[in-house]
């Protein structure tokens, strides 16, 4: 069967199970758009190509499948860069398809020609230029294989316009992926495995560091069995949240810079760290010289390049988390670790009194209250997509996730503007799920144009803007480390409720604590998107905090009198 390159692309994507493509057209990709119109694929028109990449990323993170983003050459392609880097840092499988000028003029600085494969080389798992229609089917299949294989990541496929237009034979069976042969590495030898087992069964104060890799691996059940077998307390990274139910007594909460103090203290006192699918990010370890000094360390990790990168470990079990855990569990002897678990519970008691939730109602609206109320009202069952900043940390602290892939957030790159588009992608992936956006007033203003996409696509997401009038996370650093010199962090914003109305979306504003629950309930009852502008305490800070580069043991704790008298008047 003869098809054009553009038709082959659409046919291939359909066969790979793609339903939605998030994109934005332009000259160099027009043949594909023409073919899209005749295909069964649904194209979601975004308002900025960055949004397309975040949507594809949100789709991938919510579903575990691959998100597809599309753009034209030149500025369309360069607008994708931030979204590609975001997906790369968090190991998210995204396939980006860009149009390119015709192969005949490649290299001539043609109109809207840009070397997007050169630009994205360090921020993609792989990228490739296609100049012939007959290469399209095979290359797209390879792109999908690469994006979601092993440690996932973004793949960019740049297709010249002449390849889109030319005709070629389409034969799915004959266009099997032909990736270069790889050496199969021995995952880990028996001696290493035995040492890990010995360490597991002799530890007195073990703690698991659970990361994003557990979700990637689909290892939730194997993980739970492993935890139960050894009765290990579990600490989670930001991206690990959801891999193990928050309401399980063995789940301690988040570790790291804004992790719970008892979790960090437990890590510092532990005699064994069992790291599973996490990469010891500097936000997790703090000062490496003082990190978990008394602990031996086991690292279960699929990517050899992560071993001993930041933290030197005693045993590395290289492989897929699920496979390794399933192999380990039968060798794990049950211990109750009672004294150790009780000790951690004592550490916890001290923190509870400092918790903002424990403060008497002083009429002020704190972000923590808002997020905790969203958690209670949604029963912890919603998919929450956050942006980057203070509200992101409060979400991690006050929304308790029991299921995997229900917290979607940019961790490694920390990309402001991620939440709104990623939530749209997540909603497409899981149309039956309730999706909440938790976003700051700063980050929302970066990609709020995607409200129009929501309206055009008739999407139902709930948007909670945590409006503190500041680039809050940066203001907090200025408060702590720059003598409260608030340079470039006070932030003017439009009336978000009115703005929503202008887009044809219901908008609400909340200034008092008593209004929070009713508005959440009313928003949940609606089957349309609702935007709520929560005017919260302006100068609140996220506690506890490990200053960048400080030891995990030195946490800045919430002061005893946190009532800062700066509540905004509406």
Partner 1 sequence: MQTLVAYVENKPGVLNRVSSLARRLAINIDSLTVGPTENEEIARMTIVAHTDERGAHRLEASLEKLVDVLLAENISTRALLERDLALIKVSADQQNRPHLMELIKVFRARVVDVAPESLIIEVSGTVDKIDGLLEVLRPFGVLEMARTGRISMTRGGDLLQPPAAEPVNSELESASSNVT
Ligand X SMILES: Cc1ncc(C[n+]2csc(CCOP(=O)(O)OP(=O)(O)O)c2C)c(N)n1
Which residues are known catalytic residues? 49, 111-112, 161, 473
What's the CA gap between 559 and 535, in Å, rounded? 23
Query: What region does 226 belong to: left with phi over 0, alpha with psi -120 to 50, or beta?
Result: alpha
CB 231 within 8 A of CB 250: yes
Query: Which option in ligand FAD, ligand X, partner 1, none does residue 466 bind, with CB closer than 5 to 8 A by kind?
Result: ligand X
Burial-class residue 101 by CB neighbours within 10 Å (0-12, 13-18, 19+).
Answer: buried
The pair phi, psi for residue 511, each rounded to 5°, is -125, -15
What's the CA gap between 297 and 301, in Å, rounded? 12
Is residue 305 a contact residue for partner 1 (CB under 8 A)? Answer: yes
Stretch that binds ligand FAD, among 271-279, 342-350, 371-379, 550-558 (CB under 6 A): 271-279
Residue 12 or 397 with smaller CB distance to ligand X = 397
Least Å distance, CB 487 to ligand FAD, is 19
Residue 438 or 499 with smaller CB distance to ligand FAD = 438
Nearest to 53 by CA among 89, 79, 28: 79
Is residue 122 a contact residue for partner 1 (CB under 8 A)? Answer: yes
Chosen residue from 48, 54, 61, 141 binding partner 1 by CB under 8 A: 141
**Binding to ligand FAD in span 64-123, by CB under 6 A:** 90-91
**Binding to partner 1 in span 81-100, by CB under 8 A:** 93
Query: Which option in ligand FAD, partner 1, ligand X, none does residue 441 bind, with CB closer than 5 to 8 A by kind?
Result: ligand X
CB within 8 Å of 397: residues ≥ 6 apart: 253, 254, 258, 260, 368, 542
Is residue 179 a contact residue for partner 1 (CB under 8 A)? Answer: yes
Q: Which two tokens stand for residue 317?
A: 């079990």
Residue 238 or 459 with smaller CB distance to ligand FAD = 238
Chosen residue from 58, 65, 76, 242 binding partner 1 by CB under 8 A: 65
Is residue 287 a contact residue for ligand FAD (CB under 6 A)? Answer: no
Residues in the chain: 570
Residue 60 or 200 with smaller CB distance to partner 1 = 60
Query: Which option in partner 1, ligand FAD, Mg ion, none does residue 240 bind, with CB closer than 5 to 8 A by kind?
Result: ligand FAD
Q: Which x/- pattern over 320-349 shows residues binding ligand FAD (rule: CB under 6 A)?
A: xx----------------------------
What's the CA gap between 208 and 286, in Å, rounded? 17
Query: Which option in ligand X, partner 1, Mg ion, none does residue 178 bind, with CB closer than 5 to 8 A by kind?
Result: partner 1
Residue 185 or 289 with smaller CB distance to partner 1 = 185
What's the CA gap between 12 and 127, in Å, rounded? 18
Stretch that binds ligand FAD, among 3-11, 295-303, 524-532, 554-562 (CB under 6 A): 295-303
Is residue 518 a contact residue for partner 1 (CB under 8 A)? Answer: no
Q: Which two tokens stand for residue 76?
A: 């369309």
Nearest to 61 by CA among 90, 25, 104, 27: 90
Query: Which option in partner 1, Mg ion, ligand FAD, none does residue 80 bind, with CB closer than 5 to 8 A by kind?
Result: none
Stretch that binds partner 1, among 177-185, 220-228, 260-268, 523-531 (CB under 8 A): 177-185
**Binding to ligand FAD in span 469-498, by CB under 6 A:** 473
What's the CA gap between 474 and 468, in Å, rounded? 12
The pair phi, psi for residue 277, each rounded to 5°, is 60, 40
CB within 8 Å of 61: residues ≥ 6 apart: 90, 92, 405, 408, 422, 426
CB 562 within 8 A of CB 359: yes
Q: Is 26 helix (H, G, I), strand (E, B) or coil?
A: coil
What's the CA gap between 308 and 315, in Å, rounded? 10
β-partners of residue 296 are 272
Q: Which two tokens stand for residue 284?
A: 């997790």
Burial-class residue 192 by CB neighbours within 10 Å (0-12, 13-18, 19+).
Answer: middle
Residue 259 or 404 with smaller CB distance to ligand FAD = 259
Residues that bind Mg ion (CB under 5 A): 440-442, 468, 472
> The dihedral of CA 313, 317, 318, 319: what is its sign?
negative
Q: Which two tokens stand for residue 441?
A: 């007033």
**Binding to ligand FAD in span 230-269, by CB under 6 A:** 237-240, 254-259
Least Å distance, CB 124 to partner 1, is 10
Query: Which option in ligand FAD, Mg ion, partner 1, none does residue 179 bind, with CB closer than 5 to 8 A by kind?
Result: partner 1
> The dihedral of CA 344, 346, 350, 352: what is its sign?
positive
Q: Which two tokens stand for residue 257?
A: 């810079």
Query: What region does 400 belong to: left with phi over 0, alpha with psi -120 to 50, or beta?
Result: beta
Residues that bind ligand X (CB under 6 A): 387-391, 414-416, 440-443, 466, 468, 470-474
Least Å distance, CB 116 to partner 1, is 13
Binding site for partner 1 (CB under 8 A): 15-19, 63, 65-66, 93, 117-118, 121-122, 125-126, 141, 144-149, 151, 176-185, 303-305, 307-309
Binding site for ligand FAD (CB under 6 A): 90-91, 151, 211-213, 216-217, 237-240, 254-259, 277-279, 281, 283-284, 301-303, 306, 320-321, 388, 392-393, 411-412, 414, 473
């Amino acid at each position: 069967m003869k098809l054009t390159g553009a038709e082959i692309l659409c046919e291939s994507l359909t066969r790979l199970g793609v339903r939605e493509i998030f994109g934005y057209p332009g000259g160099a990709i027009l043949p594909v758009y023409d073919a899209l119109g005749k295909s069964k694929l649904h194209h979601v028109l975004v308002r900025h190509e960055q949004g397309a990449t975040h949507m594809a990323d949100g789709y991938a993170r919510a579903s575990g499948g691959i998100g597809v983003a599309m753009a034209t050459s030149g500025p369309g392609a360069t607008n994708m860069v931030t979204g590609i880097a975001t997906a790369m840092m968090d190991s998210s499988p995204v396939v980006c398809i860009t149009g390119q000028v015709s192969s005949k003029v490649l290299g001539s600085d043609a109109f809207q020609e840009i070397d997007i494969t050169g630009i994205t080389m360090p921020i993609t798992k792989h990228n490739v230029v296609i100049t012939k229609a007959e290469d399209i089917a095979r290359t797209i299949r390879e792109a999908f294989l690469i994006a979601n294989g092993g440690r996932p990541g973004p793949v960019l496929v740049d297709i010249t316009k002449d390849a889109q237009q030319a005709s070629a034979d389409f034969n799915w069976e004959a266009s099997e992926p032909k990736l270069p042969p790889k050496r199969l590495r021995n995952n880990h030898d028996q001696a290493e495995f035995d040492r890990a087992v010995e360490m597991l069964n002799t530890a007195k104060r073990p703690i698991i560091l659970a990361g994003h890799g557990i979700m990637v691996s689909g290892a939730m059940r194997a993980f739970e069995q492993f935890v139960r077998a050894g009765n290990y307390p579990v600490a989670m990274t930001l991206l690990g949240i959801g891999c193990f139910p928050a309401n399980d007594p063995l789940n301690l909460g988040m570790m790291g810079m804004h992790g719970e103090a008892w979790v960090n203290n437990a890590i510092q006192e532990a005699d064994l760290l069992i790291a599973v699918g996490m990469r010891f990010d500097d936000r997790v370890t703090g000062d490496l010289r003082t990190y978990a000094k008394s602990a031996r360390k086991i690292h279960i990790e699929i990517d050899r390049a992560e071993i001993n990168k930041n933290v030197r470990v005693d045993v590395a079990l290289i492989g897929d988390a699920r496979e390794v855990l399933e192999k380990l569990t039968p060798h794990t002897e049950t211990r109750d670790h009672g004294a150790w678990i009780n000790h951690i519970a004592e550490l916890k008691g001290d923190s509870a009194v400092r918790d903002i939730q424990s403060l008497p109602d002083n009429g002020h609206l704190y972000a923590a209250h808002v997020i905790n109320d969203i958690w209670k009202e949604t029963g912890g069952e919603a998919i929450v997509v956050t942006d980057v900043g203070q509200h992101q940390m409060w979400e991690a602290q006050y929304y308790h996730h029991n299921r995997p892939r229900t917290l979607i957030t940019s961790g490694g790159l920390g990309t402001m503007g991620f939440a709104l588009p990623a939530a749209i992608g997540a909603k497409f992936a899981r149309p039956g799920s309730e999706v909440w956006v938790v976003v700051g007033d700063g980050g929302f203003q970066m990609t709020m144009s995607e409200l129009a996409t929501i309206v055009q696509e008739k999407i139902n997401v709930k948007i909670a803007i945590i409006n503190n009038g500041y680039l809050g996370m940066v203001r907090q650093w200025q408060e702590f480390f720059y003598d409260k010199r608030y340079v470039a962090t006070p932030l003017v914003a439009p009336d978000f409720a009115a703005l929503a109305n202008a887009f044809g979306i219901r908008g609400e504003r909340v200034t008092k604590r008593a209004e929070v629950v009713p508005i959440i309930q009313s928003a949940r009852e609606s089957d349309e998107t609702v935007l709520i502008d929560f005017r919260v305490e302006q100068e609140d800070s996220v506690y506890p905090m490990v200053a960048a580069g400080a030891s995990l043991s030195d946490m800045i704790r919430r002061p005893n009198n946190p009532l800062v008298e700066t509540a905004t008047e509406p």
